[in-house]
């Protein structure tokens, strides 16, 4: 997967790198930066300029987004890299706030630990 900041989308390419499988976001993602894939296939994308993180289904449909500009718990400022662990916890490098925030990704909804 490739975050294309110019086209405001994520390109999903096969492992050989010679075939585009699908695009996610299609111009609706603001400044995609970090990408992670959860064990259930959900795709997590940090959006640096909009200070949020979006979660897409494996079909590319937007399921959730969270964050928002600020310094309070749950708010983000220039999130960069993301990681999803085996317990479906999303780790977000909240760059300008100089911290890592951890969010849970349950079956329904999204909440912060």
- pLDDT tens, position by position, 58-88: 888 888 889 999 999 989 999 999 999 999 8
**Its pTM surpasses 0.85:** no
Helix and strand counts by DSSP (H, E) for the chain:
0, 11
Q: How far apart are CA 69 and CA 67, in angstroms?
A: 7
Q: How far apart are CA 91 and CA 11, in angstroms?
A: 22
Between 15-29, 51-65, 72-86, 90-104, the lowest mean confidence (pLDDT) is in 15-29
Full set of structural domains in the chain with CATH: 32-112 (2.40.10.500)
CB 68 within 8 A of CB 49: no
């Amino acid at each position: 997967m490739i975050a294309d900041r110019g086209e405001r989308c994520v390109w999903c390419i096969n492992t050989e790198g010679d075939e585009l499988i699908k695009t996610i976001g299609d111009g609706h993602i603001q400044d995609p930066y970090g990408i992670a894939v959860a064990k259930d296939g959900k795709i997590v994308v940090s959006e640096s300029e909009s200070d949020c993180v979006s979660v897409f289904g494996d079909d590319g449909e937007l399921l959730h987004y969270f964050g928002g500009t600020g310094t309070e718990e749950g708010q983000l400022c220039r999130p960069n890299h993301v990681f999803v662990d085996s317990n479906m916890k999303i780790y977000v490098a909240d760059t300008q706030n100089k911290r890592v925030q951890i969010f849970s990704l349950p079956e329904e909804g999204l909440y912060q630990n």
